[in-house]
Amino acid sequence: MKDSTQKTAAVGYKLKLAIQKSGRLHDDSIRLLKECGIDISNGVNKLKAEASNFPVEVYFLRDDDIPQYVEDGVADIGFVGENVVYEKKKKVTVAEKLGFGKCRLSLAVRKGDDYTGVQSLSGRKIATSYPVILGDFLKEKGIDAEIHEISGSVEIAPGIGLADAICDLVSSGSTLFMNGLKETESILQSQAVLIKNKDLSEEKEQLIARLLFRIQSVKKAKNNKYILLNAPNAKLKEIIALLPGMKSPTVLPLAEEGWSSVHSVLNENEFWDIIEQLKAAGAQGILVVPIEKMIV
Ligand code: ATP
Ligand code: ZN
């Protein structure tokens, strides 16, 4: 009864979601929505697009502008990097980590430079597009350095004599390497997050809860694998003890007498450890299958 009342209450309401128009977060944002059963494939070249099967309207914006739009309520929610959220210091709530757009904000100096710790940056000039986060970091460490704000191509600053060091986003490190720089300190780990406005109606909060439920199911599925294996009955107890499963593993008899098929779910983090132990315990014919959605 409660459920159906809640659904009726949300009818007619539509969430406004801001995502990056183009760039590193765009494709993964669209993909996540799709995995959540939200299809906006017919409008990605416009300023905004409407989903056909979920009450959401998607706005395509520059990532730097998303926190401001969400604070102002122009958008109710947004997908944006944590680096941008912390740099802009807008009044928004971080509701969920989205598992893509992973990178780190790091300090780097020229390859040949003497660097013995952050203190080496005292009195030096550091180029960055993240003056707020860098400023906070230096203050916390008690380092007095000059921050030189530039909006792009930060990695070339030391090479052209603009700065002694840089503070920039890194993922593989190849851009630093190609510019003759070495990463010395990572000051923030970042990934895309879902941010929301601080003052939303009950109806919109309900829609966000539905969206978050879907996102969490997709994320869980990605972090888990479905595993099937054959086990001699004499070893079943030992093998079952190694498997967590969602409740407990499913055990089915095989056509061959004395053998069973065991099905379970394994988390990515413990996956290889457990597989090795299962093999050692006598498991055979181990199959590992991706999971599309995981509702717990
Ligand atoms: P826009 O035109 O929307 O302002 P942009 O050029 O500022 O785009 P992108 O380079 O597309 O931004 O990066 C968007 C986000 O992707 C970053 O803010 C960060 O959260 C994430 N990201 C992940 N890996 C990296 C990386 N190696 N370098 C830069 N950003 C990365
Ligand atoms: Zn940007």
DSSP string across 55-88: SEEEEEE-GGGHHHHHHHTSSSEEEEEHHHHHHH
Same domain, 87 and 168: no
Same domain, 67 and 133: no
Q: Are 101 and 187 in contact (CB under 8 A)?
A: no
Q: What residue owns the CA closest to ligand 1's atom 30?
A: 169
The burial class, CB within 10 Å (0-12 / 13-18 / 19+), for 63 is: buried
Q: What residue owns the CA closest to ligand 1's atom 22?
A: 101
Cα–Cα distance list, 83 to 33, 74, 106 (Å): 22, 21, 11
296 within domain boundaries: no
Residue 246 has what pLDDT?
64
Question: Look-up: residue for tokens 């040949």?
Answer: 112
CATH, residue 251: 3.30.70.120
Please, what is the end-to-end C-alpha distance for the chain in angstroms?
22
Angle at 252 between CA 251 and CA 258, to 5 degrees: 100
Same domain, 136 and 183: yes
Q: Are 158 and 92 in contact (CB under 8 A)?
A: no
Tell me the best of 24, 84, 194 to mutate to test the pocket of ligand 1, counting ligand atoms within 8 Å of each CB and taking the most: 24
295 within domain boundaries: no
- What would the pLDDT profile of 111-140 be if each residue is shown by its tens digit? 999 999 999 999 999 999 999 999 999 999
144 within domain boundaries: yes
Residue range 150-179: average pLDDT? 96
207 within domain boundaries: yes
Structure tokens at 33: 């929505």
Confidence of residue 11 (pLDDT cuts 50, 70, 90): low
Listing DSSP states for 80-102 in one string gives EEHHHHHHHT-S-EEEEE-S-S-
Same domain, 199 and 69: yes
Same domain, 197 and 94: yes
Q: Which of 190, 210, 243 is the last residue of a domain?
A: 190
pLDDT higher than 90, residue 58: yes
Structure tokens at 15: 């969430």
pLDDT higher than 70, residue 42: no
The burial class, CB within 10 Å (0-12 / 13-18 / 19+), for 150 is: middle
Same domain, 216 and 231: no
Q: What residue owns the CA closest to ligand 1's atom 13?
A: 24
Is any atom of ligand 1 closer than 6 Å to the C-beta of 24? yes
CATH, residue 84: 3.40.190.10
34 within domain boundaries: yes
Q: For the stretch 201-220, what's the b/e string if a residue is b when 16 or more beta carbons lie within 10 angstroms of its beta carbon?
A: eebbebbbebbbebbebbbb
Residue 14 has what pLDDT?
94
Same domain, 90 and 15: yes
Q: Which of 190, 205, 238 is the last residue of a domain?
A: 190
Domain extent at residue 153: 103-190
Q: Which residue has the higher pLDDT, 246 or 277?
A: 277
Same domain, 9 and 83: yes
- The mean pLDDT of the chain is 93
Q: What residue owns the CA closest to ligand 1's atom 18?
A: 81
Q: Which residue has the higher pLDDT, 61 or 296?
A: 61
130 within domain boundaries: yes
Same domain, 59 and 184: no
Distance CA(183)–CA(165), nearest Å, equals 10
Residue range 196-212: average pLDDT? 97
Question: Look-up: residue for tokens 């960055």?
Answer: 128
pLDDT higher than 80, residue 95: yes
CA of residue 64 to ligand 2 center, whole Å: 5
Same domain, 70 and 214: yes
User: What does the chain come to in residues?
Assistant: 296
6 within domain boundaries: yes
Q: Are 95 and 212 in contact (CB under 8 A)?
A: yes
How many domains would you assign to the chain? 3
Angle at which helices 202-222 and 2-10 pack, to 10 degrees? 110
Residue 63 alpha carbon, nearest atom of ligand 1: 3
Residue 269 has what pLDDT?
86
CA of residue 109 to ligand 2 center, whole Å: 23
Residue 26 alpha carbon, nearest atom of ligand 1: 11
Q: Which ligand is nearest to the CA of 26?
A: 1
Is any atom of ligand 1 closer than 6 Å to the C-beta of 279? no
Q: Which of 142, 175, 190 is the last residue of a domain?
A: 190
Q: Which of 294, 51, 6, 143 is closest to 19 using CA atoms? A: 51
Same domain, 63 and 114: no
Same domain, 26 and 143: no
Distance CA(81)–CA(78), nearest Å, equals 10
